[in-house]
Chains A and B, each alone.
Chain A
């Protein structure tokens, strides 16, 4: 794993010190995790959720229990015109 590349995918900026330290720690963890490759999993179904329930549906009607606009915006770092304010994305 190249830590800096993956950190970019994860949208985390790393200092040089962090990149070196995490690289070493991550290599060690991945080496440990390699043991999974020694297990025979031929024909074994993956478990995504233990004892999960599937296809939970309800009537397609508004329940009226969503957050109000004010409540949804109350923790926003920057708000403008009742919306989240962001740096310009398109020139």
Chain B
């Protein structure tokens, strides 16, 4: 038995039948990481001793008892490094506390194991902005794994993790999941606490599961969701048993197809795979209904104003004073400017500068306020669509994983590739990427994801349809 090939459900079964202990599983996983990950770059670090100490105490009666979960490197785990793949924190920061999602994982018996690579401070769609090291797509190492949760997707896909946590601000769970052929779920804004996640864009960020099956995603979501008194935007709505949606048939579900998400710019092979997945759902009994999301074309522009504005405020905390890199300087302003210049990478600097500009006096109304109004229009598009359908189906990304360096000198061209994922964050709704086949590019089979978007708090429908499709496509 290869531990790293198991799903959460299979690992739990192996524990309960005493075929395996948590310490054995984690030791085996560490062996797989050492063997495979140097060619992938999915992990920034792991701490076997801490994990084995947790394993020795694991309570196997709990829902995730003894299950190791890889953690995106912007989520605080007490005693672990948390670098956000940035030189400003790498080697200089050890988390003094657990994020709420970690506290909830631990309460369910899970063991945080391994810190996954990412775009620096989650800014990017390819993992090429990691300030520490590159991460490669396990299906073709000349290509990007996606981002920003590229490491989390790559380790689940390359069988060096059983499951992982990622975060999604504009598609950062769903897009790498699609490119690496794993399941990634972005919860409704407020469903999962953001306390202890290093903030990128606070009104858009959500943490969610990245797994090999929809069932595993449901099991993780059930644990990490729910109220948190340290995040005032976290919703106190009761957490349903998401795993109850597993196995429910899709007959009667209404699924909308937005014309705007199948228009120019979509790779024909990707379009074909997604359309056949939709036909598959139809053959299972779902009703397919055309819908329109007319403000889609403005989503990328609104997003890059709002997200950079929020980032410029959030990243002000990295100033060389309380934690992280400090440059030598004689006065305070120079200390700030040099510490940040030395610590941040290109994309982070660009976004902070852009965000500072759109919030600056005289430009606030023209950019930030206007983008927030456009955000309202995008939300209304979804409100109108969800008055008629339960779910919306679309591609995740317009192309399969692109080559490393393909968008290197042109940040805007990379931003535009986020077109199908960004709107869900602006509208605060939930979404999932489920593998729906592969396309052949230059002799390699590259995964494609089907995106399903659901109403606010509509995760049960995502899981129900996602699982039904997953099972029928095997």
Contacts and interface: CB of A to CB of B under 8 A. Distances in A.
B352 interface: yes
Given A14-B341, A36-B301, A41-B370, A77 B323 contact: yes
A87 B96 contact: no
Nearest to B380: A44
B350 A37 contact: no
Interface string A13-56: 11100100010011011101101110101001111111111001
A81 to B, nearest CB: 15
B326 A78 contact: yes
Interface in B234-270: 235
B92 A77 contact: yes
B341 A87 contact: no
Contacts of B233: 49, 52-53
B353 A26 contact: yes
Contacts of A56: 232
Contact of A75 (B324, B360, B375): B324
Nearest to A23: B353
Contact of B375 (A7, A8, A32, A47): A47
A48 B410 CA distance: 29
A75 B320 CA distance: 11
Contacts of B324: 75, 77
Nearest to B370: A36
Nearest to B319: A11
A38 to B, nearest CB: 9
B388 interface: no
B356 A6 contact: yes
The interface residues of chain B, by DSSP majority, are classed as helix
A14 to B, nearest CB: 7
Contacts of A32: 300-301, 412
Contacts of A33: 301, 304-305, 367
B464 to A, nearest CB: 21
Interface residues of A, number: 51
Contact of A39 (B235, B298, B321): B298
Nearest to B308: A29
B403 interface: no
Contacts of B321: 76-77, 84, 86
A51 B326 CA distance: 38
A47 B353 contact: no
Interface residues of B, number: 75
Nearest to B413: A28
Nearest to A77: B326
A6 B379 contact: no
B395 interface: no
A45 B319 contact: no
Interface string B83-102: 00000000011101100000
B207 to A, nearest CB: 16
B83 to A, nearest CB: 12
Contacts of A72: 96, 322
A12 interface: yes
A6 B325 CA distance: 22
Given A72-B96, A87-B331, A47 B298 contact: no
Interface in B164-211: 188-190, 203
B419 interface: no
Contact of B94 (A36, A44, A47, A74): A74
B153 to A, nearest CB: 25
Contacts of B331: 87-89
A11 B333 contact: yes
Nearest to B376: A47
A11 B298 CA distance: 30
Given A50-B189, A52-B190, A45 B376 contact: yes
Contacts of A12: 337, 340-341, 344, 349, 352-353
The 4 A-B residue pairs with the shortest CB-CB distance in the complex, in nearest-first order: A50-B428, A46-B372, A77-B326, A75-B323
Interface of B: 92-94, 96-97, 188-190, 203, 229, 232-233, 235, 295, 297-298, 300-302, 304-305, 312, 316, 319-326, 329-338, 340-341, 344, 346, 349-350, 352-357, 360, 366-367, 369-377, 379, 410-412, 415, 426-429, 456
14 contacts: A9-B360, A11-B336, A11-B337, A13-B338, A29-B304, A29-B415, A32-B412, A36-B370, A41-B374, A50-B428, A50-B429, A71-B97, A77-B324, A77-B326
